[in-house]
């Protein structure tokens, strides 16, 4: 068993000691001793591979007094969060130690390209159009409050300070005192939100990620990348390139979320512009201290003379004159955005504002060209270049806003129009009739909607949203994503609705294919769409398609969904080539394996050949935003991982899978999807068992996000969103959505003399290898002993045979993966990961056992007092958050 790195262990121990001191200080020796007893019992329980939970641990937890529930659960929750901080910081520190002259990541990429004789001209050409776009979403998987996240970030910063070797004794003491204070602040802060964040609150959190991390990380990453390119190939990142971009669904994703309205979208857009203007104002203030020189190009002098209308600026400082003018207009823009966000009437005229990114970028480029012309390149390529890179990435809107809505809402809106006009019921029409009607209207000149017409509340909201989009600048929005889109009419309907609200420009309309059936027919759908001459002209040679990972896995199981996603991308690439259209695939991945998560580089490098081609768009959500972009150093590292993988996948795409591999995977997934659905859809007791053994019903009490947990009230698993579906199974550590079905498929293949073929696929096919690796990663996080304890505490006797079968299938799955990989234990090649989980188990397992106890009390407390019920509910919420921190996943 691999040991944790000594420096990591030292920090974990230090933070744990400080937490213990705070527990003792607030709650006294008795509670501190209770925490220690539970911890020691959990340590013994952790090392038991099978059988029942430790009687001593169960006894301690089942006999807790009401007043001990919350502080005990908080102590274990806080330790796991502090442990995460130590591990996260250690990962960054180890990266820093390894990166000496240039990033190891880029060196490895360049070595790989050179080994395959990729000419630098091909790399330079790719960099001209490289586009990696991260879409921050409001999916409710971030359990930790923003208040605590900020404190955790501060703790990370202090750990960094402690690493310095030049500290004297007094400075070291000051750092230790600061660390103790921060741990104390975290301990005395409620870790559970009492109220759900609003959609605007979620958007503000997204802006904070940019302000506190990405704003600094982006130019740092690009500077390092540029330097590595020059040192190896003597080529530079083009000044005009925008290799990294950011967008957001926060305030735009209204699919199943009634809290996202047109009013919210308008306010979020204004707040985004306010934040952008404020950040650029800080940049300009800094630039004005740097650009004090007087030598300037004729181009800059002319611009300065035009702008210097009684400004009082020194004529010998042309750069400052230009920046001063920009600063004034940015300040006006910030004030104007604040007025719009409040709903006030603005008194600013357009010439007082910056309304397009080019108005901000061009003066900065003139300054840049001037400095180079006058031989002051060192200054030009410093802070000024950083600001130019930021402007090209973030623009004046900071985060481009995507809009997402279900296709049914658009169809219902068109249906109201056709019924009002007396021309029929649109929802009853066949696809050909719908297309004919939509195309006739799109090619006509008369308005379809007359003033004064009244609509249902839902349809009026669709119209109002379209009006907001039409009234904003093109730069404000990214894509209009249509959920459950399967027909050309789904896309044409949105274009018509936008036009009817005054839209006079083209917007990217992006169909989202989510279910297994939709993925299987995605290429046929896009082929039909691009075959419509009017739309072929509209899309102007570019089509974006979104691939859904979450709902497809919930629908068919992880293995079948993964293969359907792969085949859909392959066929979409061929369809795009057939129509001469550039295809951009938008990957709707989540954090967990069951929602398309896993190591980013493996996922990208396992995509079908030709599907990346220098363009990659992906959702980042919930806790994964914090894990990847929570600090500038983390963010820079994450950007490097993605950029390297996208470049490699574009220039050295993986080989086409062999025909026999395809046949084998077709057979595997045919077995897996039937096996998965036999349980999830056809097992009569499954839904009742699921709701009994997991905290699925109680998860709704966690104020994770503004969006409801269900698309529709009532119903079974099909109405539950993918996030709580996975969250619930993760809480009891059975991780069922990630492996169910794969067990029967792998068993059939490995027992039918296909073990050699399976091993060949695992070794030579990046896609299949990534599937197996992600499966292995989720299996090692599971623990059937813990799942069994939940069952013992919460499930009726007549349902327990189902649980026993599921745990037996899980154990079979572990054996099959080990057999396929030729190993005795899971993740033998990454022992550090397993050791990290083992150490965490000392603190995670008590939270599981306590959660089961709390669920038992909660579901049977019909005679409990209101105060007792409140204590149980509060402690239950803390255990949910703590388990998520311990496993480092929610949904």
d(CA 421, CA 442): 17
Q: What is the pTM of this model?
A: 0.90
Per-residue model confidence (pLDDT) at position 715? 55
State the pairing for strand pair 542-548/615-621. unpaired
For 47-65, where are the alpha helices, taking DSSP H only?
Answer: 55-62
Per-residue model confidence (pLDDT) at position 6? 77
Of residues 393 and 105, more confidence is placed in 393
pLDDT tens digit sequence for 283-299:
999 999 999 999 999 99
Tell me if residue 800 falls in helix, strand or coil: helix
Q: Which of 783, 804, 797, 789 is nearest to 853 (CA)?
A: 789
Averaged pLDDT, 566-585: 97
Per-residue model confidence (pLDDT) at position 91? 65
Q: In the predicted model, is pLDDT for residue 160 greater than 80? A: yes
The CA angle 15-196-688, to the nearest 5 degrees, is 95
Q: Per the residue annotation, which of 27, 90, 139, 587 is the catalytic one? A: 139
CA trace torsion 137, 140, 142, 147 (10° rounding): 90
Per-residue model confidence (pLDDT) at position 884? 84
Band of residue 717 on the pLDDT scale cut at 50, 70, 90 = low
Is the Cα torsion angle 32, 36, 41, 46 positive or negative in sign?
positive
Q: Per the residue annotation, which of 151, 266, 400, 554 is the catalytic one? A: 554
Of residues 347 and 89, more confidence is placed in 347
Per-residue model confidence (pLDDT) at position 96? 40
Check if the beta carbon of residue 360 is closer than 8 Å to that of residue 330: yes
H/E segment holding residue 547: strand 542-548
Check if the beta carbon of residue 552 is closer than 8 Å to that of residue 515: yes
Of residues 83 and 174, more confidence is placed in 174
List phi, psi (to 5°) of 850.
-70, -40
Q: Which of 870, 666, 767, 890 is nearest to 70 (CA)?
A: 870
Per-residue model confidence (pLDDT) at position 595? 40
d(CA 569, CA 603): 13
Provide DSSP, 826-891: TTTT-HHHHHHHHHHHHHHHHHHHHHHHHHHHHHT-TTS-HHHHHHHHHHHHHHHHHHHHHHT---
pLDDT tens digit sequence for 724-772:
888 899 999 999 999 999 999 999 999 888 999 999 999 999 999 999 9
CA distances in angstroms from 435 to 406, 441, 498, 557, listed in the order given: 18, 10, 16, 34
pLDDT tens digit sequence for 777-807:
999 999 999 999 999 999 999 999 999 999 9
H/E segment holding residue 198: none
Per-residue model confidence (pLDDT) at position 100? 35
Cβ of 787: how many Cβ atoms within 10 Å?
A: 25
pLDDT tens digit sequence for 93-150:
444 434 333 468 899 999 999 999 999 999 999 999 999 999 998 754 445 566 777 8
| Residues 6+ positions from 500 with CB-CB distance below 8 Å | 447, 448, 449, 463, 466
Q: In the predicted model, is pLDDT for residue 336 greater than 90? A: yes
H/E segment holding residue 7: helix 6-46
| Residues 6+ positions from 785 with CB-CB distance below 8 Å | 48, 50, 51, 52, 53
Of residues 397 and 861, more confidence is placed in 397
Catalytic residue at 90?
Answer: no
Per-residue model confidence (pLDDT) at position 563? 96
The CA angle 521-525-529, to the nearest 5 degrees, is 170
pLDDT tens digit sequence for 526-539:
999 999 999 999 99
| Residues 6+ positions from 349 with CB-CB distance below 8 Å | none
Q: In the predicted model, is pLDDT for residue 380 greater than 90? A: yes
Band of residue 830 on the pLDDT scale cut at 50, 70, 90 = confident
Q: In the predicted model, is pLDDT for residue 701 greater than 80? A: no
Per-residue model confidence (pLDDT) at position 80? 87
Averaged pLDDT, 167-182: 91
Q: In the predicted model, is pLDDT for residue 714 greater than 70? A: no
Q: In the predicted model, is pLDDT for residue 889 greater than 60? A: no
Of residues 455 and 600, more confidence is placed in 455
Per-residue model confidence (pLDDT) at position 765? 96
Check if the beta carbon of residue 487 is closer than 8 Å to that of residue 518: no
Catalytic residue at 139?
Answer: yes
d(CA 571, CA 579): 13
Query: What does the radius of gyration of the chain's CA atoms come to, in whole angstroms?
Result: 28
For the chain, the maximum distance between any two Cα atoms, rounded to a whole number of angstroms, is 88
């Amino acid at each position: 068993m691999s040991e944790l790195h000594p420096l990591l262990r030292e920090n974990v121990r230090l933070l744990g000691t400080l937490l213990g001191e705070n527990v003792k200080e607030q709650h006294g020796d008795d509670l501190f001793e209770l925490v220690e007893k539970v911890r020691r019992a959990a340590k013994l329980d952790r090392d038991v591979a099978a059988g029942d939970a430790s009687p001593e641990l169960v006894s301690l937890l089942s006999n807790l007094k009401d007043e001990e529930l919350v502080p005990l659960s908080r102590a274990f929750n806080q330790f796991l969060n502090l442990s995460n901080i130590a591990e996260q910081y250690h990962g960054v520190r180890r990266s820093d130690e390894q990166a000496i002259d240039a990033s190891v990541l880029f060196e490895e990429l360049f070595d790989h390209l050179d080994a395959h004789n990729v000419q630098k001209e091909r790399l330079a050409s790719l960099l001209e159009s490289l586009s990696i776009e991260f879409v921050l979403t409001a999916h409710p998987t971030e359990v930790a409050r923003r208040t605590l996240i900020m404190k955790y970030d501060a703790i990370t910063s202090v750990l960094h300070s402690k690493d310095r070797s030049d500290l004297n004794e007094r400075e070291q003491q000051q750092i230790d005192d600061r660390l103790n204070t921060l741990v104390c602040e975290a301990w005395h802060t409620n870790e559970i939100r009492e109220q759900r964040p609003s959609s605007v609150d979620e958007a503000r959190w997204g802006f904070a990620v940019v302000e506190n991390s990405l704003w600094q990380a982006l130019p740092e990453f690009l500077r390092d990348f540029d330097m590595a390119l020059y040192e190896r190939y003597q080529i530079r990142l083009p000044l005009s390139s925008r290799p990294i971009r950011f967008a957001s669904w926060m305030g735009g994703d209204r699919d199943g979320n009634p809290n996202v309205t047109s009013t919210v979208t308008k306010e979020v857009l204004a707040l985004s512009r306010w934040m952008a203007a404020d950040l650029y104002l800080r940049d300009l203030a800094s630039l004005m201290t740097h650009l004090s020189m007087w030598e300037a190009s004729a181009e800059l002098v002319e611009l300065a003379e035009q702008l210097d209308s009684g400004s009082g600026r020194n004529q010998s400082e042309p750069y400052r004159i230009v920046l001063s003018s920009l600063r004034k207009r940015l300040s006006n823009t910030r004030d104007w955005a604040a007025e719009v966000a409040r709903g006030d009437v603005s008194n600013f005229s357009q010439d007082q504002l910056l309304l397009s990114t080019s108005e901000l970028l061009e003066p900065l480029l003139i300054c840049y060209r001037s400095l180079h012309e006058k031989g002051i390149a060192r200054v030009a390529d410093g802070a000024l270049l950083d600001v130019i890179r930021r402007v090209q990435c973030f623009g004046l809107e900071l985060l481009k806003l995507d809009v997402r809505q279900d296709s049914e809402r658009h169809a219902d809106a068109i249906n109201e129009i056709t019924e009002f006009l007396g021309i029929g019921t649109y929802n009853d029409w066949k696809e050909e009739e719908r297309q004919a009607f939509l195309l006739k209207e799109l090619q006509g000149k008369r308005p379809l909607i007359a003033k004064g017409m009244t609509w249902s509340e839902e349809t009026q909201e669709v119209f109002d949203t379209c009006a907001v989009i039409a009234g904003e600048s093109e730069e404000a929005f990214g894509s209009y994503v249509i959920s459950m889109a399967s027909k050309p009419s789904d896309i044409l309907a949105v274009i018509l609705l936008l036009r009817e609200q005054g839209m006079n420009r083209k917007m990217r309309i992006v169909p989202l294919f989510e279910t297994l059936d939709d993925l299987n027919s995605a290429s046929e759908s896009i082929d039909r769409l691009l075959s419509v001459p009017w739309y072929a002209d509209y899309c102007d040679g570019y089509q974006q398609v979104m691939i859904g990972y979450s709902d497809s896995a919930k629908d068919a199981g992880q293995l079948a969904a993964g293969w359907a996603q792969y085949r859909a991308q392959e066929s979409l690439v061929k369809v795009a080539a057939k129509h001469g259209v550039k295809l951009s695939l938008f990957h709707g991945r989540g954090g967990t394996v069951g929602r398309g998560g896993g190591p980013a580089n493996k996922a990208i490098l396992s995509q079908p050949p030709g599907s990346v081609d220098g363009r990659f768009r992906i959702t980042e959500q919930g806790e994964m935003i914090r894990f990847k972009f929570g600090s500038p150093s983390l963010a820079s590292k994450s950007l490097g991982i993605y950029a390297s993988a996208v470049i490699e996948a574009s220039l050295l795409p993986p080989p086409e899978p062999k025909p026999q591999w395809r046949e084998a995977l077709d057979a595997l997934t045919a077995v897996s999807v039937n096996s998965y659905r036999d349980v999830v859809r056809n097992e009569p007791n499954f839904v009742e068992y699921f709701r009994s053994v997991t905290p699925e019903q109680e998860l709704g009490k966690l104020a994770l996000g503004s969006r409801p947990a269900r698309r529709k009230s009532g119903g079974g698993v099909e109405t539950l969103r993918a996030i709580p579906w996975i969250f619930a199974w993760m809480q009891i550590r059975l991780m069922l959505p990630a492996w169910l079905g794969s067990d029967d498929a792998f068993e059939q293949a490995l027992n039918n003399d296909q073990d050699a073929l399976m091993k060949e696929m695992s070794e030579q096919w990046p896609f299949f290898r990534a599937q197996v690796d992600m499966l292995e990663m989720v299996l090692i996080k599971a623990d059937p002993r813990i799942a069994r304890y939940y069952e013992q505490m919460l499930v009726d006797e007549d349902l327990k045979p189902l649980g026993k079968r599921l745990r037996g299938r899980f154990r079979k799955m572990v054996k099959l993966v080990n057999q396929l990989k030729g190993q005795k234990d899971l993740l033998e090649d990454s022992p550090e990961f397993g050791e990290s989980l083992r150490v965490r188990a000392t603190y995670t397992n008590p939270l599981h056992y306590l959660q089961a106890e709390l669920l038992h009390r909660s579901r049977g407390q019909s005679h409990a007092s209101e105060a007792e019920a409140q204590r149980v509910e509060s402690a239950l919420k803390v255990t949910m958050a703590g388990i998520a921190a311990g496993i480092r996943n929610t949904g």
